[in-house]
Amino acid sequence: MPTEDTISLSEMVRWSDARRSNPIEDELIGTYNYLTISTEEYGGVTDAFIERFIISILIYQNRLGYTEIFLHNPPTRVYDQIQIYKNHFELLIQCTSYPRTTKKALKEIKDNFNKKILGQDQAKIEILTALYDLSNNYDSKPKIIMLYGPPGVGKTETAHFINQAINQDNRLLRKQFSMYHNDSFYSYIFGDRTNSFAKDLIDRESNVILLDEFDKCNNIFYSAFYQLFDEGIYEDKYYQVNLQNAVILCTSNYLSESDIRKNLGDAIFSRFDAFIKFQAFSNEVKEQLIDNIFNEEISKYPEEDIQIISQFNIPNLLSQHLSAINNVRDIRRYITQMIATPLIDNI
């Protein structure tokens, strides 16, 4: 969007409100080449303004003089008005494009998955199998995949790795569904102009989406995802979002598909393309993780602290208690505590 000789929707509305109580404001406003409207600004005007959007901005154009209008992610009701009046002005629509899942990305996952995610060899094979269709142009339906298993064994980290392989530096869109347990979630899912799931989807950087702990939200909200999972279209009261070719990863801590079906219900269960189980760590994997995480954590300390820490064989000490360790979070917590203890004693 242009930044010079512009007036934003918010500025225009403030000027309009001010001139009602102080006519001199009408003389203070300048003329502009451009009117710019960002995604967030639609939430700052009334529904009535949205309903007569085209008429309103044409009326203000006579006074403010702008000849070009830039709309960023207009709500569906605004977009529909544009389609009705499109023969009365020159219209250019630019849509964000997202990288497809390519065979190069799949090879990246195949070659490097085990370096990033330990102990989940079978999950890697099933992920590649599930994603392969997207590397062919004949299928644009999003791939809906459930990653399930014990907490802390690599499900969320897998989503980040898949996103990196497909989208490189673009940030993964992650929504933590366990955080939503109140009435505001209804507005967030089914439509709110100021804060909504649809707006987050529109503003996403990546076509890989993580719905973390998908099983934690109330079952009444799952109906909002039927069309998204079936057709790649998410629609609420204000926006319609196209998610073709997307990879939508959901996670759950349930330990079996039957538990997922029982708790989520057949209607949403049947819409998943794949259910991929993540296994609990073997002792061999736990020992490898202990070494990796210890080396990662100790690298954060200055040399004088490392010399103190090195007097204790922390990985070996922790490996004697593998039965008490269940996941990566446990390992990292125990290691940080065991590193801190001798350093505190030396203060």
Q: Which positions ≥6 away from 226 have C-beta within 8 Å?
A: 267, 268, 271
The CA distance from 271 to 330, in Å, is 34
- What tokens were used for 304? 């004088």
Least confident of 37-51, 234-248, 250-264, 326-340: 37-51
The CA distance from 56 to 317, in Å, is 71
Phi, psi for residue 60 in degrees, rounded to 5: -65, -25
Asked if residue 27 has pLDDT above 70, the reply is: no
Reference 147, options 272, 258, 265; nearest CA is 272
Give the pLDDT of residue 231.
92
Where residue 23 falls among pLDDT bands split at 50, 70, 90? low
How confident is the model over 171-186, as a mean pLDDT? 80
Q: Is the dihedral of CA 322, 324, 328, 334 positive or negative?
A: negative
Count of CB atoms within 10 A of residue 199's CB?
24
Per-residue model confidence as pLDDT tens digits over 115-162:
999 999 999 999 999 999 888 876 678 999 999 999 999 999 999 999
Q: Concatenate the DSSP letters of all residues of 312-336 into one string.
A: S-HHHHHHTTGGG--SHHHHHHHHH
Owner of token pair 């960023």? 72
Give the pLDDT of residue 2.
65
The verdict on pTM exceeding 0.75 is: yes
Asked if residue 180 has pLDDT above 80, the reply is: no
Reference 30, options 56, 58, 60, 65; nearest CA is 65
Region of 331 (left: φ > 0; alpha: ψ -120 to 50; beta: rest) is alpha
